[in-house]
Amino acid sequence: EDQVTQSPEALRLQEGESSSLNCSYTVSGLRGLFWYRQDPGKGPEFLFTLYSAGEEKEKERLKATLTKKESFLHITAPKPEDSATYLCAYSGAGSYQLTFGKGTKLSVIP
């Protein structure tokens, strides 16, 4: 069965303390792996799309990587404004719909 699992469910970091969020996925054919940021009371904000194993993308303090079974969102020297829920999702081959994980709630403490 196709599925996606994110860990940890919640992560509390000190400002400047780098870490990684994990997204494990099982899909028969991957069209794309997506990362989103969601702030309370708002819709998800698109961050990255990864298409093939070995691909990496960066944006400010965030870097997303992809293997055949997992994706990581690395956060370097986070700031309090990085506090949010980070969602991982995939779309399977031949499909445009997204299947989401439950997310990782990140809190960055000053």
Q: Are 102 and 9 in contact (CB under 8 A)?
A: yes
Assigned token pair, 42: 């708002």
Three-state secondary structure call for residue 80: helix
Residue 42 in contact with other proteins, rule: CB under 8 A = yes
Site track 49-88 with other proteins (rule: CB under 8 A), x = hit: x-x-----------------------------------x-
Q: Are 7 and 104 in contact (CB under 8 A)?
A: yes
- Compute the least distance from the CB of residue 12 to other proteins, in Å: 18
Residue 101 in contact with other proteins, rule: CB under 8 A = yes
Residue 34 in contact with other proteins, rule: CB under 8 A = yes
Contacts to other proteins by CB under 8 A: 32, 34, 36, 41-49, 51, 87, 89, 96-103
